[in-house]
Amino acid sequence: MKNDYDNTIVAFIKKHLQKEKVLAVLVTGSFAKGTNDKDSDLDIQIITSNRSKYRKRGNVVMDGVLIEYCINPYNQVKKYLEIDAKHNNPMMCIALLEGKIIFEKYKSASLLKEYAAACLRNEYNSINKDRISFNKYVLADTLNKMNSLYKKHRDDFPFLYYINLKLIYETYAVFLQQSLLKEPMLKDYFEGNVRFNHVLKDFIDKKFAKMFLLAMVSKNSQDQIVKYRELTQYVLDKMGGFSLDGWSLRIPVDYGNKMDKRTRIF
């Protein structure tokens, strides 16, 4: 790590965790990777015994450093990883795998790292044909709306352009059973940044990655709408093609109180 913050970590543990059933402490984020700067916060993951009855997240400033900490029982962390795997979310896996173990009992942190690695090796769930059909409709419908906004010279077009670029990426990534990364990580990921080589497979469609990188840095509305059209059509073609004319989707009703929003079609 840049600079030695081990003493800060030790002081934090002594002050805030004396009564906790702590199994392990990991530093994650920029401090673990050695990329921290003067504005970086210190991310600490605390793993507690399964006898613990609560989870906690908080902030505290020590030695001039903002510490962001999360406290979770061991089995709670495993549950998070399982849930994330169902939603193509690798972020906690990455945090654990890149994390620096400060101390651990019973190899608890090491075992969680192994579990996180196994989660990343597994393929994400595929989506069914109804979901594919609806997702293609959303892409095509959004393209129509973007074309309309562009023709009207709306001054919020660039804002909506970047929001809907994310829609294209997420739709295609889920279709390809790829990881969904946070926006600040996409440029490095699509460029094949070495940081991800040991934790994530490269995005499998290199042409899409190149097109998306160019779209991310487009500066004017005229170029943006061209790139948006090209990206949308490329993804629709890869998903089997699509025409709005005559499209329909018929599925069973669902009155469940906990209906997953991703199964809704309105």
What DSSP string runs through 33-93?
HT---TT--EEEEEEE-TT----EEEEEEETTEEEEEEEEEHHHHHHHHHHHHHTT--HHH
The angle subtended at Cα 154 by Cα 149 and Cα 156, nearest 5°, is 100
- The pLDDT value recorded for residue 232 is 98
Q: Tell me the pTM.
A: 0.84
pLDDT at 2 over 50: no
- The pLDDT value recorded for residue 252 is 84
User: Residue range 198-208: average pLDDT?
Assistant: 88
Model pLDDT for residues 42-90, shown as the tens digit of each residue: 999 999 999 999 999 999 999 889 999 999 999 999 999 999 988 899 9
What would the DSSP string read from start to end of 109-178? HHHHHHHHHHHHHSPPPPPPHHHHHHHHHHHHHHHHHHHHHHHTT-TTHHHHHHHHHHHHHHHHHHHTT-
Q: Which domains does the chain have, with CATH numbers?
A: 6-121 (3.30.460.10), 129-263 (no CATH)
Q: Give the DSSP H or E segment for 24.
A: strand 22-28
- Taking the C-alpha atoms of residue 172 and residue 232, their distance in angstroms, rounded to an integer, is 10
- The pLDDT value recorded for residue 21 is 86
Model pLDDT for residues 221-254, shown as the tens digit of each residue: 999 999 999 999 999 999 999 999 999 998 888 7
Worst-scoring range by mean pLDDT, 31-45, 95-109, 249-263? 249-263
C-alpha of 201 from chain center: 14
Band of pLDDT at residue 7, cut at 50, 70 and 90: confident
The answer to whether residues 200 and 189 touch, using CB atoms and an 8 Å cutoff, is: yes
Tell me the average pLDDT of the chain: 90
Worst-scoring range by mean pLDDT, 32-36, 173-177, 188-192, 262-266? 262-266
Band of pLDDT at residue 1, cut at 50, 70 and 90: very low
- The pLDDT value recorded for residue 86 is 86
